[in-house]
Amino acid sequence: MTLTEVKEILSAEVISGGEDLEKEIKYAFAADLLSDVLALGRGSGVLTLLITGIVHPQVIYASNIFDLGAIIFVRGKRPTEETLQLAIENQIPLLVTSYIMFETCGLLYQHGLRPSIAKVKNARG
């Protein structure tokens, strides 16, 4: 699905990267722990959406390592100004939704988005 569809499904607000809304997203990963993002990030980053409540700049630095396609902040959390500036510099689209993480994941899954990694072998992935 495109980021436009993600935006519509989640009644989300696009706060950066509005010019990239036709970008295709196939996979998602949801975490509030950057340690998990770093340990479990997999596959094609550009097609992956990160679903998170972490709004400080480290979320952009971590996403940048995986070349993630976009980030959606859940529970109405808004990124800090520094996070926003970094996202713009690194060309990572940012969206905000009022839905909680569970509902965000459920709605996106229902519409065809799939996990970037479904199951781990151990705590390290």
Partner 1 sequence: MPEAEENIRFHEIFHIEGGNFTHAGAISSRVKKILKDAGFPGKIIRRTSIAAFEAEMNVICYANQGNLSLLIAPNFLKVVVKDEGQGIPDVDLAMREGYSTANEKIRELGFGAGMGLSNIRKNTDEMILTSKLGQGTHLEFTVYLDRQENEFPPE
* Positions that interact with partner 1 (CB under 8 A): 26, 32-36, 38-39, 41, 43-44, 47, 54, 56-62, 64-66, 82, 90, 122-125
53 with 76: CB under 8 angstroms? Answer: no
Closest separation in Å from C-beta 3 to partner 1: 18
Q: What's the distance, CA 125 to chain centroid? A: 19
Question: At its nearest, how many Å lie between partner 1 and the CB of residue 95?
Answer: 19
Residue with Cβ nearer partner 1 (18 or 117): 117
- For residue 62, the minimal CB distance to partner 1 (Å) is 7
Whole-angstrom Cα distance, residue 90 to residue 78? 18
Q: Which is nearer to partner 1, 84 or 107 (CB)?
A: 84
Contact between 75 and 104 under an 8 Å Cβ cutoff? The reply is no
Strand, helix or coil for residue 92 = coil
Q: Which is nearer to partner 1, 7 or 52 (CB)?
A: 52
71-97: string of b/e by CB count within 10 Å (b at 16+)? bbbbeeeebeeebbebbeeeebbbbbb
Nearer to partner 1, 14 or 28 (CB): 28
Instruction: Please state, in angstroms and as integers, the Cα–Cα distance from residue 29 to each residue in 13, 17, 89, following that order.
Output: 19, 19, 22
CB of 58 to partner 1, least distance (A): 5
